[in-house]
Amino acid sequence: MEDKDKQFMFKAIELSVESVNNNGGPFGAVIVKDGKIVSAMSNKVTQYNDPTAHAEVNAIREACKVLNTFDLSGCEIYTSCEPCPMCLGAIYWARLDKIYFANTKTDAKNIGFDDSFIYEELEKPYTERKIPTVQIFRTEALKGFQAWEQKTDKTEY
């Protein structure tokens, strides 16, 4: 472990503690590019009334604004806890190069943040999920995909 890793992780941990003190969840995340912090955010779910306002997602959104791009290749994320399924998906979509985390998903589960049900739900057929999931109008919806496929000046992501 290098000193820079310690510095960035300690910042993420500091953000997680500050978040708790400000009535937020105990999570912080820092995105780094070329050895410099691009964004440093905490969990804002209760402050924003937004269930997607996790620290990692907030940090990704801020880094994309700062760098004026949706592609965070060349960046790394330091997060105070192992990312949940939503955040992990966002990290992959953002193309971050590396993930460093401190607390584990088991540590999070032990204080009431249990994401295991999401992984379990994804493995189930649509008809067996807790939230009723019904596919309708696929043929009509394919028109959007066809338009995308035929578009010659699209910005791929």
Distances (CA, A) of 30 to 46, 62, 96, 110: 20, 10, 12, 24
Phi, psi of 118 (to 5 degrees): -70, -45
Name the DSSP class of 83: P
CA distances from 119 to 88, 116, 143, 157 (A): 12, 5, 31, 25
Catalytic residue annotation:
56
The secondary structure of residue 39, as a DSSP letter, is E
